[in-house]
Amino acid sequence: MTDHYAVFGNPVAQSKSPMIHGRFAALSGQDMAYDKIEAPLGGFADAVQRFRDAGGKGCNVTAPFKIDAFAIAGTATDDARLAGSANTLRFSDGAIEAHNSDGIGLTRDIQDNLHTPLAGKRILMLGAGGAVRGVLLPFLQAQPDELSLLNRTPDKAAALAEMMADYGMVTLCDPVECGGFDIVINGTSSSLTGSCPALPRGVFDGCALAYDLTYGKGLTPFLAAARDAGVPHVADGVGMLVEQAAESFRWWRGITPATGDLIADMTVPLV
59 and 72 both lie in a single domain: yes
The bridge status of strand 122-126 relative to strand 146-150 is: parallel
66 is catalytic: yes
**Is the residue at 50 inside a domain?**
yes
DSSP, res 34: E
pLDDT at site 143: 97
% of residues, the chain, pLDDT over 90: 94
Alpha-carbon distance values, 178 to 124, 150, 173, 259 (Å): 10, 10, 7, 35
pLDDT at site 48: 98
Please name which of 26, 108, 100, 116 lies closest in space to residue 66, comparing C-alpha atoms: 100
The bridge status of strand 88-92 relative to strand 95-99 is: antiparallel
90 and 201 both lie in a single domain: no
pLDDT at site 136: 95
- Contact 65/42 with Cβ under 8 angstroms? no
150 and 214 both lie in a single domain: yes
What rounded mean pLDDT belongs to the chain?
96
Alpha-carbon distance values, 176 to 64, 151, 203 (Å): 33, 12, 9
23 and 58 both lie in a single domain: yes
- Contact 157/149 with Cβ under 8 angstroms? yes
Last residue in a domain, options 77, 100, 123: 100
80 and 131 both lie in a single domain: no
61 and 145 both lie in a single domain: no
- Contact 88/56 with Cβ under 8 angstroms? no
| More confident of the two residues 34 and 93 | 34
CA dihedral sign, ordered 225, 227, 229, 174: positive
**Is the residue at 242 inside a domain?**
no
58, pLDDT greater than 90: yes
Distance CA 215, CA 14 (A): 13
How large is the average pLDDT for residues 49-61? 97
111 and 221 both lie in a single domain: yes
What is the number of structural domains in the chain?
A: 2
pLDDT at site 212: 98
pLDDT at site 73: 98
Last residue in a domain, options 40, 75, 100: 100
Burial label for 168, CB within 10 Å (0-12, 13-18, 19+), is: middle
- Contact 136/103 with Cβ under 8 angstroms? yes
pLDDT at site 238: 98
> How many Cα atoms sit within 13 Å of 17 on the Cβ side?
24
How large is the average pLDDT for residues 126-138? 93
Distance CA 230, CA 25 (A): 40
User: From the CB of residue 156, how many other CB atoms can be counted at a distance below 10 Å?
Assistant: 16
27 and 55 both lie in a single domain: yes
pLDDT at site 132: 93
Residue 129 is part of a domain; what is its CATH number? 3.40.50.720
Per-residue pLDDT of 149-184, as tens digits, reads 999 999 999 999 999 999 999 999 998 888 899 999
Which of 16, 57, 66, 217 is labelled catalytic?
66
Task: List, in sequence order, every residue forming a beta bridge with 177; answer none if it has no partner.
Answer: 201
What's the domain range around 137?
103-237
44 and 107 both lie in a single domain: no
Last residue in a domain, options 39, 68, 100: 100
128 and 81 both lie in a single domain: no
Q: Tell how far CA 148 is from the center of its chain.
A: 18
% of residues, the chain, pLDDT over 70: 100
pLDDT at site 93: 86
How large is the average pLDDT for residues 263-269? 96
**Is the residue at 248 inside a domain?**
no
Per-residue pLDDT of 73-126, as tens digits, reads 999 999 999 999 999 999 988 899 999 999 999 999 999 999 999 999 999 999
Among the listed ranges 13-17, 177-181, 204-208, 244-248, which one has the minimum average pLDDT value?
A: 177-181
Distance CA 181, CA 209 (A): 9
111 and 227 both lie in a single domain: yes
**Is the residue at 259 inside a domain?**
no
59 and 129 both lie in a single domain: no
Residue 72 is part of a domain; what is its CATH number? 3.40.50.10860
Task: List, in sequence order, every residue forming a beta bridge with 171; answer none if it has no partner.
Answer: 148
141 contacts: CB under 8 Å, gap ≥ 6: 167, 168
The bridge status of strand 58-61 relative to strand 3-9 is: parallel
**Is the residue at 268 inside a domain?**
no
Alpha-carbon distance values, 246 to 107, 119, 181, 236, 255 (Å): 13, 23, 29, 17, 9
User: What is the chain's Cα-based Rg?
Assistant: 18
pLDDT at site 94: 86
**Is the residue at 271 inside a domain?**
no
